[in-house]
Homo-oligomer: A and B are copies of this chain.
């Protein structure tokens, strides 16, 4: 067995113990981890400073350095997050559909953990703890494979968590960190179906492509967001401009940010007159189809075919003009990643049609796409936003980290 196999086999074994752990024990472990991370924060911060020094030396951009950095305030936030997860209802053990069948069999469907959840993610050390906490509460062992830039921070955090788990009476192998951050080990992880029950890749298009190509374990795709805002002919243009500005500019790097505005031809000129001054505040680059370019002149640049499928993650916006809501819906369904799509309109029937026909995890009428988030949706916390239709769609909370099993109480029945 390779080192990774040994680690994943141990996680699988631990998952059986964890799946039987009661809510009180899991909550107590979560609160102990919160306490331990605060008490040992100097160790975590020291490890983080090693990562930061290496990243600076390698010329990492300031925005990414900021994502990588821990501070006592951020650690307090992580600990608070752990306590919030402890306070959430435990989905495990709930039984639904229970009934006595005509033959006397008592059949019910019990919520159970998935087993071992593997997560491949980028260089944000807080994700290490957040993800481990959601897995722990939902009774799943986790195998974490974070970005190489955060390896020292992640090793310190996982060491603290594992020690605390053991003290709480749970197997330390419930939380495992893959220390080799090379691509080959990631590819090996994607193929360990013997031990891994589900893989959640959190990252850019490159990772998602690699997973689609290599994974034999079941995968939940998360966080690909080519999101659109469609401004209908019947839109309140001021509202539309504010929604677009928020969806594009409030945090352009995240997956629920808008990448493309679709405009009804009849209001395109008037809308742009209201919206462009807002977009100017962040010097948003406008990649336009021919019609939009004719309206925007030198404020726009011509779009290429790639722009209609681009997740810029930056102050860049594609602009497309259509002749009807139907055409807008067709365009969106052809180019969306199925994350979040928004319509701005006053028209009742257009609103209903958009909600019916747009094929995405979250479909909005008269609101910003930026709300697609576990906290905003009332799930308490999330491990990612699924853009696929199987298993879970949209923000994934604790319930989305579970499976079920049918339990059947018999009295000797045969068929």
Taking A198-B389, A362-B406 as contacts, is the C-beta distance between A378 and B101 under 8 angstroms? yes
Q: Please report the C-alpha to C-alpha distance between residue A7 and residue B377 in the assembled complex, in whole angstroms.
A: 38
Closest to A403 in B: B389
> DSSP majority for the A interface?
mixed
B-chain residues with CB within 8 Å of residue A361 when the two chains form the complex: 405-406
B-chain residues with CB within 8 Å of residue A357 when the two chains form the complex: 16, 20
Asked if B367 and A410 sit within 8 Å, CB to CB, the answer is yes
Asked if A365 and B405 sit within 8 Å, CB to CB, the answer is no
Return the CB mask of A185-203 against B: 1 if under 8 Å, else 0: 0000000010001100000
The smallest beta-carbon distance between A139 and chain B, in angstroms, is 11
Q: Is A105 an interface residue (CB 8 A)?
A: yes
| Interface 9-mer from A72-80, A171-179, A211-219, A266-274 | A211-219
Taking A216-B213, A218-B388, A370-B414 as contacts, is the C-beta distance between A406 and B16 under 8 angstroms? no
Q: How many copies does the complex hold?
A: 2
B-chain residues with CB within 8 Å of residue A49 when the two chains form the complex: none
Q: Is A250 an interface residue (CB 8 A)?
A: yes
Return the CB mask of A357-379 against B: 1 if under 8 Å, else 0: 10111111111101110001110
Q: Is A413 an interface residue (CB 8 A)?
A: yes
Q: Is A27 an interface residue (CB 8 A)?
A: no
Q: Please report the C-alpha to C-alpha distance between residue A268 and residue B363 in the assembled complex, in whole angstroms.
A: 60
The smallest beta-carbon distance between A378 and chain B, in angstroms, is 6
Q: Please report the C-alpha to C-alpha distance between residue A267 and residue B228 in the assembled complex, in whole angstroms.
A: 67
Asked if A412 and B239 sit within 8 Å, CB to CB, the answer is yes
| Interface 9-mer from A51-59, A284-292, A306-314, A390-398 | A390-398
The 8 Å CB contact of A404, one of B112, B394, B404, B405, is B394
Q: Is A356 an interface residue (CB 8 A)?
A: yes
Q: Please report the C-alpha to C-alpha distance between residue A376 and residue B250 in the assembled complex, in whole angstroms.
A: 53
Taking A212-B193, A213-B216 as contacts, is the C-beta distance between A393 and B405 under 8 angstroms? yes
Closest to A379 in B: B97
Within 8 A of B (CB), among A335-389: 351, 355-357, 359-368, 370-372, 376-378, 388-389
- Pull 12 A–B residue pairs with CB atoms less than 8 Å apart, ordered by A: A20-B357, A101-B376, A101-B377, A101-B378, A107-B377, A197-B389, A198-B389, A213-B216, A366-B409, A366-B411, A393-B405, A394-B405
Cβ-closest 10 pairs across A and B: A367-B410, A246-B414, A389-B403, A391-B391, A366-B410, A370-B415, A362-B406, A367-B413, A239-B412, A390-B391
Instruction: Name A residues whose Cβ lies closer than 8 Å to a Cβ of B.
Output: 16, 19-20, 97, 99, 101, 105, 107, 109, 112, 114-115, 193, 197-198, 212-213, 216, 218-220, 236, 239, 242-243, 245-247, 250, 333, 351, 355-357, 359-368, 370-372, 376-378, 388-391, 393-394, 403-415
